[in-house]
Amino acid sequence: MLRDLRFRYWPLLKSWQTALLVLTGLAGYLSAGAPAGGWGKLLGLAGSQFLAIGGGTALNMWFDRDLDARMARTCRRPLPAGQVSGDQALWFGVSLSTLGVGWAVALSPLYGALAVAGWLLEMGVYTLWLKRRTAWSVIWGGLSGSIPILAGRALATGAVDQTGLLLALAVWLWIPTHNLTLTLLHSDDYQQAEVPTFVSVLGRGATRRLIAFSSGLAAVVMTATAVELGMPAARLWLLAGLSAGLLALALGGWGRPSARIVLVLYKYASVYMLSCMVLMALGAR
């Protein structure tokens, strides 16, 4: 049973992606200082988000299993490889999603409502409606990735405040950097699967410009949010330096395009978000 969970079902969660989104939720919660509820509420936040996000990801992979089978990058995932049946993946995703959203509602009606909104954006807007129809799916569907940090902040403060919205905006603006670099690196795969991307619709040059624009805005908003939080000078300068690195790589990928720069930017973007979330989690202390 444990072996099945590790090798057949665990990959359905895209554990690194899910963990990074959960970390944004924890950062949103901890950015409020020392909220009431202590470790119990913090663990509830982590658990509910992991289940809801992981369940939505598993359902995404269930729905897109035909696309995954046509792409070299994804054809060895559990569903196209035949390690997990469609029914098994469906029930796995539904079960985790139900537990996660139910847990979120039990923690707080507002937090639960945001968890439901994030799940619906992921499944309804991105997966079912936009992904197979338009390259803009990564922009509008990316709103779902901004919900965990907003929900975490709302659970701590009891409201959707300006800081929470800024944090969510920073994450939303960062998402194209992560997703569009992936489409640049694997454009042939997406074309083979007939998934519309900015690379296939607008070309590589326009995609690089969009990455640079989005990265610049993400860096500015992330830094502005750190200032609003009253982050100490040393950490603020560190975050600003990380933001400058993101922008420099994005501009480099636009001005002097190469597969190597795109790959470095793709990897750096994840390190950037991870680092920023750790700094945000420390709040103004």
Summarize pLDDT for 25-77 with one digit per residue, the tens: 999 999 988 666 678 899 999 999 999 999 999 999 999 999 999 999 999 99
pLDDT of residue 106: 97
pLDDT band at residue 252 under the 50/70/90 scheme: confident
Examine the pLDDT at 3 and tell me if it is beyond 60: no
pLDDT tens digit string along 81-106? 999 999 999 999 999 999 999 999 99
pLDDT tens digit string along 111-152? 999 999 999 999 999 999 999 999 999 999 889 999 999 999
Q: Following CA atoms 116, 119, 120, 126 in sequence, which dihedral angle do they give, to the nearest 10 degrees?
A: 160
pLDDT of residue 7: 61
Calpha distance 61→10 (Å, rounded): 12
Calpha distance 81→200 (Å, rounded): 27
- H helix runs in the chain, sequence order: 2-4, 15-30, 38-63, 65-69, 86-107, 109-120, 137-140, 143-157, 162-185, 187-192, 198-201, 204-229, 233-255, 259-281
Q: Are 147 and 52 in contact (CB under 8 A)?
A: no
pLDDT of residue 37: 64
Q: Are 198 and 210 in contact (CB under 8 A)?
A: yes
Which amino acid is present at 203? G
Domain ranges of the chain: 2-281
Q: Are 72 and 27 in contact (CB under 8 A)?
A: no
pLDDT of residue 2: 47
% of the chain residues with pLDDT over 70: 95
**Of 56, 52, 46, 70, whose CA–CA distance to 12 is shortest?**
56
**Of 61, 71, 60, 64, whose CA–CA distance to 193 is shortest?**
71
Cα 224 vs. chain centroid, distance in angstroms? 20
Best CATH choice for the domain 2-281 from the list 1.10.760, 2.40.50, 1.20.1630, 1.10.600:
1.10.600
Mean pLDDT estimate for the chain: 92
Examine the pLDDT at 5 and tell me if it is beyond 90: no
**DSSP three-state, residue 141:** coil
Calpha distance 39→127 (Å, rounded): 34
pLDDT of residue 187: 92
What is the per-residue burial (b if ≥16 Cβ within 10 Å, else e) of 128-163? Answer: eebbeeebebbbebbbbbbbbbbbbbbbbbeebeeb
